[in-house]
Structure 1
Amino acid sequence: MQQIQFSSGNLTADRRADYAKMLSEGGDPAAAAELMEQALELAPDWAAGWLRLAEYSEKAGNIEAAITALRRVATLDPQDLFAARLKLAVLGAEPTPEQPSSRYVEALFDDYADRFETSLVDKLGYSVPGKLAALIRKVAGERRFRLAVDLGCGTGLFGVEIRDRADRLEGFDLSANMLAKASAKQIYDHLGEADLSLPAERSGLLGAGLPEGRADLVAAADVLMYLGSLDNAFVLAATLTAPGAFFAFSVEEAEVGQGFELAPSLRYRHSEAYVREALADAGFDTRQVKRSVIRMDSGKPVHGILFLAERRF
C-alpha cells in the first residue's frame, strides 16, 4: 500500500507547516494559509501540504484559493488518495463523481480501523447493524440463511448481529486493517478483500470457490454512502444472490428529491426513489423501507433509510 507523504522532506518547510497548523488551531486560518504558502515554495510537489493550504484557505473564506490548491493536489495525486476531486465537487468546482477513488476509501478505513468501534459506536451512537438485523428478522421471521454475505463488513459489527441466523458467513471489505479486526472476532467462515466499485469478475467477490448465486442474504451496513452511483454495487448483489434471497442495506437520505448527492462529509446521500429504481433495474423487489437516525455527526443526527429487498425468481 502506498504510504501517505505527510512530511515534505524539507525540514524548514515542515517547521513552517507545523506553525501553520498551530495558527489554524488557534483560530487564524488566514495567517496559517500564508505560512503554508511559504512552506510550499520550498516543497512545491508536496501533495499533503497543498491539501492543508486548501483547508486553511477554505476556513479563511478564500474559496478560490482553496480550489486552486485542490487542483494542485489532484495533479500531484492521480490516485486521488486525498479525495481532492470530492472536495472540488463539494466546493462546486467540478461535477460530482459517481464514486470516490478506491484508494481514498481504503486509506480512510485502514487509518480508522483501530478506533472505529470506539469512535462510531460509543461516541456517535452508530446503530445501523442492529437496526438492519431487526428489519431482517421482521420480514424473515424464523428463517435461517444458508449463506450470508456481509459486504463492507468493517470490524464485523453486522456479522455479530446475524451470525446466529447464518449457517455460513462471509465478510468482504476494501480495507485490510478492517478485515484484521473482523478476523479477531472469529465469527466469519471466510474473509476477503473486495471493491464494490469494480465489475464482478474483478471485485474479489467471485472465483476460488466463491461462485455466483451462492447467497440467500447479502447485507451492506453503512457502506453505500461511499458510492454515488449504486448501479454496480446492486449488480454485484444480484450476482451473489439466489432467487428469493434478501438484500439488506442502508443509505444516508438525500435532501434532493431524486438521485444522489455528495455531502460536505464526503459521503454520498441517496433518495428513496433513486434506490428503488436501481434495485428494480438490478432484479430486486423492495420489500421494506424504514427511515431512521443512523448516527450523530458534529452533534447533529444523520438521517438514513434502511432497505430490505428480495431477488426476483
Structure 2
Amino acid sequence: MARAFLSSGDLIADRRASYADMLFESGDHVAAADLMRQALDIVPAWTAGLYRLGEMEEAAGDEDAAAETWRRLLELDPDDRFGATLKLAASGYAVVPDNPPTAYVETLFDAYAPTFEAALLEKLHYRVPELLAKAIKAAAPGRHYQSMLDIGCGTGLMGDYFRADVNHMAGMDLSEAMLQKAEEKHVYDRLFKGDVNELHYPAGSADLIIAADVFVYVGDLDRAFARLVEVLGPDGLFAFSVETHAEDGELILQSSLRYTHSEEYVRRLLAEHGLAPVTIGREAIRFDRGEPLQGLITVARRA
C-alpha cells in the first residue's frame, strides 16, 4: 500500500503521526512505533493510522504487536481496504487466502493511479506490456483481431501495442482512477469497471484476451480462467503474465503481498481449462528492491 498520509481529523494526532513517519524514514522504527501509538491514543479508530502502526511495529521486529494491530484494523475495516488479511497471512499469523480482498486491490490502485506509469516505467523498468506484445505477435504474425479484451488494463499501457491490429478494443479494471487515466489516452473503444473473478462479458466474443501483471493480485486463478475461457472465441489467444518463484509450491503469497505462480501451476491450469500453451517464457519483468523480478510470459490458445 502506498504510504499516502490520510488525516485522522485531529491536528495533534496528525502531527505526531507525521513525526513518527520522519523517525521511521530515518531508521528509528521503535521510536516511530511508540510515537504512532501516542497518535492512536488520541484517535483510536483511525484505520490509516493503524495500518501505518502495523508497518512500524513489523519493521521494529515486534511481529506479535504488528499482528494484533492488523487484527484491530480488520475489526474496524471488515472490507479490508488496507490488506490486513494479507499482512497476517504473509507474517504467518493466518492462513493464506485464495484471493486478496477486492477492496484492498481497488484502494491500492486508486492510490497509485497518479504516479503509476512514472513509478513502473522510470523507476522499476517495467517490461510486461512490451514482452507480452512481442510474444503475441510472434505467436500469430500479422494477425488482425476483431475484438480484444484487456483485463486489468490499468492506465492503458497495452493499448498502443495493438490499436492498429484490433477493430474493437475493450479495457476492464477494478480501479476507477486507473480507468480515468486510460480514458485520457483515447485508445480504447470501451472501458469498464469490473473484477476478473466476476467477469460478465459476451461469451466467445473476444479473439484476443490480455492480462498484463494482473494475476499477482488475483491469487488462485481457477475462477478467473473459467470466466476468461468462456469469453474467448474460437482460435482466440489468451496472453498473460505472472510473477514466478523457485521455491516449492504452486501458489505463494510473498512479503510484497503479491502472489507468485509456478510454471507447473500455470501449465496445469491451462490444461484443465482447455487451453494449449503456445509459448511460456521466463523473463525479468521489472526490478524489485534493485533486483530483477522473474515472471512468466504466456500465450495460449484453445486446445
Using the size of structure 2 for normalisation, the TM-score is: 0.95
Query: Share of identical aligned residues, percent?
Result: 46
Alignment of 1:264 with 2:255, yes or no, is yes
Residue pairs, 1:136-285, within 5 angstroms = 136-198=136-198, 203=199, 205-206=200-201, 211-285=202-276
After TM superposition, give the deviation of residue 57 of structure 1 in Å: 1.0
State the partner residue of 1:127: 127
> In 2, distance between residues paired with 1:255 and 1:44?
42
After TM superposition, give the deviation of residue 218 of structure 1 in Å: 0.5
> In 1, distance between residues paired with 2:121 and 2:11?
39
> In 2, distance between residues paired with 1:164 and 1:30?
55
Taking a change above 3 Å as real, the CA distance of residues 149 and 106 of structure 1, as seen in their structure-2 partners, is same
After TM superposition, give the deviation of residue 48 of structure 1 in Å: 1.5
Match for 2:241: what amino acid? Answer: S
Residue pairs, 1:72-151, within 5 angstroms = 72-151=72-151
| Residues 217-226 or 47-56, more deviating | 47-56
Match for 1:223: what amino acid? Answer: V
> In 2, distance between residues paired with 1:306 and 1:165?
20
| Residues 7-16 or 56-65, more deviating | 7-16
After TM superposition, give the deviation of residue 72 of structure 1 in Å: 0.8
**Matched length:** 300
| Residues 240-249 or 40-49, more deviating | 40-49
| Residues 109-118 or 218-227, more deviating | 109-118
**8 Å contact from structure 2 (residues 148, 208) kept in 1:** yes
Alignment of 1:298 with 2:276, yes or no, is no
State the partner residue of 1:286: 277
| Residues 21-30 or 300-309, more deviating | 21-30
> In 1, distance between residues paired with 2:40 and 2:96?
28
Match for 1:181: what amino acid? Answer: K
Alignment of 1:29 with 2:29, yes or no, is yes
> In 1, distance between residues paired with 2:239 and 2:203?
18
After TM superposition, give the deviation of residue 5 of structure 1 in Å: 9.0
> In 2, distance between residues paired with 1:25 and 1:122?
22
> In 2, distance between residues paired with 1:286 and 1:257?
22
Secondary structure in structure 2 of the residue aligned to 1:256: coil
| Residues 94-103 or 17-26, more deviating | 17-26
**8 Å contact from structure 2 (residues 197, 227) kept in 1:** no
Q: Deviations over 1:11-32 (max 9, x none)?
A: 3322222222222122211111
Match for 1:288: what amino acid? Answer: T
> In 2, distance between residues paired with 1:49 and 1:260?
31
Q: CA RMSD in A?
A: 1.5
Q: Deviations over 1:120-142 (max 9, x none)?
A: 01221111111111111111012
> In 2, distance between residues paired with 1:176 and 1:39?
32
> In 1, distance between residues paired with 2:291 and 2:254?
14
Using the size of structure 1 for normalisation, the TM-score is: 0.92
After TM superposition, give the deviation of residue 240 of structure 1 in Å: 0.8
Secondary structure in structure 2 of the residue aligned to 1:169: strand
Q: Which runs of 4+ in 1 moved over 6 A?
A: none
> In 1, distance between residues paired with 2:118 and 2:30?
34
Secondary structure in structure 2 of the residue aligned to 1:79: coil
